[in-house]
Amino acid sequence: MGAAKETLGEEQPWAEVSPDAARRLLIAAVDAFAERGYHATTTRDIAGRAGMSPAALYIHYKTKEELLHRISRLGHDKALAILRSAADGEGTAADRLSAAVRSFVRWHAGHHTTARVVQYELDALSAEHRTEIVALRRLSDAAVREIINDGVRAGEFDVPDVPGTTLAVLSLCIDVARWFDVGGRRTPDEVGALYADLVLRMVGAAPERAQR
């Protein structure tokens, strides 16, 4: 399915950020924020990682917070696109929920530095930027809730508390960014598969392999 867009998964991250110096600064900021947190990161550190002087940062970004906002915005856009692509796909609700969780988790594990900044540094955003981002998060919530509602309507799922289960599913996936370790034994693909199975259990979908 979607053979023409097959290569999009391998695209260069942050390709939409230009010019080159701005992208280098943004990547350096992602690394630094993920490693130490936004407030513990200095603008000198970011510029240093990008191989530039501290003042260079302010040519491409108005403030340190604008850098965080750009990262958060792009990351949330990407995360939402992943969820929607799965939600709008073909197949049963179980198929779509499984695909959504698998790809969402794979992204959080594979891009865990970015995801960590995106998911855990919201408080550092300005009030306006935060409300903008929170709106995006509600759309993610709606995408997942829609799949679950479809499954319930179709009789595939058994979910007593749809909003609560939606919250739990998203929370479970998001928290992958906190604990995922590149040096660990699990690959992003493996975690995605494990989590897809766990989530299908949470919604009471009939197990595919054997009935019990």
Partner DNA sequence: CCTGAAGGTGAGCAAGCGCTTAGGCAAGTG
Partner DNA sequence: CACTTGCCTAAGCGCTTGCTCACCTTCAGG
Give whichever of 23 and 116 is closer to a second copy, judged by the CB atom. 116
The owner of tokens 């198929």 is 95
Category of 184 on φ-ψ map: left (φ > 0), alpha (ψ -120 to 50) or beta = beta
Q: Which of 16, 54, 81, 198 binds DNA (CB under 7 A)?
A: 54
Using CB under 8 A as the binding rule, the residues of this chain from 11 to 40 that contact a second copy are 36-37, 39-40
Which candidate, 144, 84, 71, 169, places its Cα nearest to that of 111?
A: 71
> Which stretch, 3-11, 73-81, 125-133, 157-165, contacts a second copy (CB under 8 A)?
157-165
The owner of tokens 């409300």 is 131
Which candidate, 21, 32, 130, places its Cα nearest to that of 72?
A: 130
Per-residue binding letters, 191-210, with a second copy (x by CB under 8 A): x--xx-xx--xx-x------
Q: Examine residue 212 and tell whether it contacts a second copy (CB under 8 A).
A: yes
Question: In whole angstroms, what is the distance from residue 128 CA to residue 131 CA?
Answer: 5
Per-residue binding letters, 119-148, with a second copy (x by CB under 8 A): -x--xx------------------------
Using CB under 7 A as the binding rule, the residues of this chain from 23 to 42 that contact DNA are 41-42
| Count of chain residues binding DNA (CB under 7 A) | 20
Long-range Cβ contacts of 151-159 (<8 Å, 24+ apart): 151/92, 151/93, 151/94, 151/97, 151/203, 151/205, 154/92, 154/93, 156/92, 156/93, 156/94, 156/205, 156/206, 157/93, 157/94, 157/203, 157/204, 157/205, 158/203, 158/204, 159/203, 159/204
Q: Which of 13, 14, 17, 21 binds DNA (CB under 7 A)?
A: 21
Least distance CB 21 / a second copy (angstroms): 27
> Which stretch, 72-80, 106-114, 125-133, 169-177, contacts a second copy (CB under 8 A)?
169-177
Q: Examine residue 58 and tell whether it contacts DNA (CB under 7 A).
A: yes
Binding site for DNA (CB under 7 A): 19, 21, 41-44, 47, 51-56, 58-60, 62-65
Binding site for a second copy (CB under 8 A): 36-37, 39-40, 120, 123-124, 158, 160-161, 164-165, 167-168, 171-172, 174-176, 178-179, 186, 191, 194-195, 197-198, 201-202, 204, 212
